[in-house]
Amino acid sequence: MTRLFLVRHGPTHAKGMVGWSDIPADLSDTNRIARLSRHLPDRAALVSSDLGRARATAEALGAGRSRLPDDPALREINFGDWELRRFDEIEADDPDRIRAFYEHPGALCAPNGECWDDIRARVDPAIDRLIRDSGPDIVVVAHMGVILGQLQRALGVSAYEAFSHRIDPLSVTEIVHDGGFRTGRINHCP
């Protein structure tokens, strides 16, 4: 049995869509980070996306945990031409595409970016490798899209249904793998 503790990185305070842009996380709420760290298993393997906001969050949670190399497969979805733009700006330029991107997630990509199916095809094998190679407890510090994709997998729901879950910065979502996937707490903020 493997327990996954999927942690969303600290807040960025960005107003636009943030995918592969390497912007920093605000980790100034040290009390909240300490509570989150205490909630996580002490001897867990710890891995993060290679983007700075996830790396820095993992470093803040790292005390006593075995740090694995950063994994670029755990990056957020690549928003391509929509990167760092606000939803209302994109909607003004391409209302049908942006609505379809969220209402029918799957094969529709942001221009020059990734689609939901792409992120799942990238992240699922990375999570499978971690389960196979990294011990019974794994803390994965990543992004909302990564976490929602693993929730979709564990719950056996559509991407649209997975999108209905809120995933706050510095929250933890628990998934257990014991031959299949099942969820524990979702968006828990210790």
What pLDDT shows up at residue 127? 98
Ranges of residues in the chain whose predicted pLDDT is under 70: none
Pick the CATH number of 2-79+117-183 from 3.40.50.1240, 3.30.70.260, 3.30.450.20, 3.60.9.10: 3.40.50.1240
Radius of gyration over every alpha carbon of the chain, rounded to an integer in angstroms? 16
**Are the CB atoms for 169 and 13 separated by under 8 Å?**
no
What pLDDT shows up at residue 20? 96
What pLDDT shows up at residue 63? 82
Angle in degrees, 0-180, between the axes of helices 116-133 and 144-155, rounded to the nearest 10: 80
Is this prediction's pTM over 0.85?
Answer: yes
Q: How far from 80 is each of 61, 111, 129, 154, CA to CA, in Å?
A: 30, 6, 27, 28
What pLDDT shows up at residue 182? 95
What pLDDT shows up at residue 62? 87
Q: How far from 83 is each of 4, 12, 16, 57, 145, CA to CA, in Å?
A: 29, 14, 7, 22, 14
**Are the CB atoms for 113 and 19 separated by under 8 Å?**
yes
Angle at 5 between CA 32 and CA 67, to 5 degrees: 85
What pLDDT shows up at residue 64? 82
Q: Classify residue 82 by its DSSP letter.
A: G
**Are the CB atoms for 40 and 75 separated by under 8 Å?**
no
What pLDDT shows up at residue 135? 85
What pLDDT shows up at residue 183? 96
Phi, psi of 139 (to 5 degrees): -100, 120
